[in-house]
Structure formats: structure tokens, C-alpha cells
């Protein structure tokens, strides 16, 4: 089972529908459950953490829901874990947005306002990414593939090796995706990125292996 974390923010239904389609196309027999129940998250084979809006508001919602420790445990459990948009940003240590505001601290680094010039902020629309390394969750994604972005802040990982993809906007190179062991994050919205997004979600779904739901390495 893939659990989509319901902590009061994010495109939960869109994410769930994208994952359901990806599982069907990949031939993986798994349920997709939108849930705020810690027991569901503990039992899940994979976790997806969506997020929209402000970093601080997302962190507050995670605290208020009581799900912060469960989400942190899931991200360090070895299970496939995907953060989307602000759901990726809050995996880092802190953000400048109305802050500094502390994040989950799963990944070292911070989130800062875009420095792009002569272009609108937020960065909104379709942009082509450049992939780095050999992350399995980008195995079907070629350089120059377009994904859909909506954001005013971007992650700055402390370890450059955690950058899985970047995008150019207004003369600035922005982190588009991150990866470390079982944890993966996208600044773009795969659930809104049509075929390219489904291919990425298929790679995520494919990380679930075996009847016991043991995770393959990311």
C-alpha cells in the first residue's frame, strides 16, 4: 500500500489519482490510501508527502496533525518516500520563508527565495529539467523533459550529491529534484505533469517489491 499523507495541505486527490494510474500502468498491485492515521503510515510500503502553500504553514499543519514524528520515522525507515513541492522543501533543515522556520531535518540544507531576475515570481509553468547522477526515479526521464512548477522558494542542499535534477529560470539554476537513499523529492508537481509525471511516478511505484512490500534501493 502507498500512503499519501493527509495533514490538511497538498493536492492529495490529484497525487492519489496519479499514483493509481502509475501503479496500473506499471502492473503493480497496490492500493493508494490518502490517510492521516499514523498506523496506516507505519504499515505502508511507500509514503508520499504532498505540500502546497507556505513552508511554515505546512510545518504547523504537520505538527497540529500529530503526524510529524510518524513522517520523520517513515523517511528514515528505508521505505520509498517521495516529497512533492513544499512536501520536498520541508524535508530540509529550515526555510527563509516568513522565518527562519525549522523543517523536518531529514536532508541537510535550507530553502531560500528564488533569486531569478526579470521573470515573474512565483515560477509557474512548464520548464525543462536537467538530470544528474543515476537516480532510479529518473530512469525514464531524459534531459530536456518538461515538468510543471509552481513555487517562489527553492531548496539548497548542503550536499551537492543530493541534487538529482535542476532547472534554469531567470538566469538561476534551481534544484528541481533531490535524492538520498530511500528519500526522493520533486520541486515540480509530477501529478500535474501529464505523461512525464506519470513516468516518474511509475518509477516510484516500481520501488515496491515482493509480497511483503520490501523496498528496493532508491
Q: What does DSSP say about strands 46-49 and 32-35: parallel, antiparallel, or unpaired?
A: unpaired
Residue with cell 506519470: 198
79 three-state secondary structure: coil
CA distance 56 to 9: 12
The cell numbers describing 146, all together, are: 518538461
Helices and strands: H and E segment counts in the chain = 6, 15
The C-alpha cell of 110 is what? 535550507
Catalytic residues: 85, 189, 191
- Do the Cβ atoms of 99 and 130 come closer than 8 Å? no
3-state secondary structure of 213: coil
Amino acid at each position: 500500500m502507498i500512503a499519501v499523507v493527509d495533514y490538511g495541505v497538498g493536492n492529495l486527490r490529484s497525487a492519489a489519482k496519479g499514483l493509481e494510474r502509475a501503479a496500473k500502468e506499471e502492473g503493480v498491485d497496490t492500493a493508494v490510501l490518502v490517510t492521516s492515521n499514523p498506523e496506516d503510515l507505519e504499515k505502508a510500503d511507500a509514503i508520499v508527502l504532498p505540500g502546497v502553500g507556505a513552508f511554515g504553514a505546512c510545518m504547523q499543519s504537520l505538527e497540529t496533525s500529530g503526524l510529524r514524528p510518524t513522517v520523520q520515522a517513515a523517511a528514515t525507515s528505508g521505505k520509498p518516500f517521495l516529497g512533492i513541492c513544499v512536501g520536498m522543501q520541508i524535508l530540509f533543515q529550515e526555510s527563509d520563508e516568513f522565518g527562519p522556520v525549522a523543517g523536518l531535518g531529514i536532508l541537510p540544507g535550507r530553502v531560500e527565495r528564488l533569486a531569478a531576475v526579470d521573470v515573474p515570481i512565483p515560477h509557474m509553468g512548464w520548464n525543462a529539467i536537467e538530470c544528474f547522477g543515476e537516480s532510479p526515479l529518473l530512469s525514464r526521464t531524459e534531459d530536456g523533459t518538461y515538468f510543471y512548477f509552481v513555487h517562489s522558494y527553492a531548496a539548497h542542499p548542503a550536499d551537492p550529491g543530493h541534487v538529482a535534477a535542476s532547472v534554469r529560470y531567470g538566469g538561476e539554476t534551481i534544484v528541481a529534484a533531490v535524492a538520498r537513499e530511500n528519500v526522493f523529492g520533486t520541486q515540480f508537481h509530477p501529478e500535474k505533469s501529464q505523461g512525464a509525471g506519470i513516468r516518474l511516478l511509475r518509477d516510484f511505484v516500481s520501488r515496491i517489491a515482493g509480497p511483503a512490500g520490501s523496498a528496493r534501493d532508491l
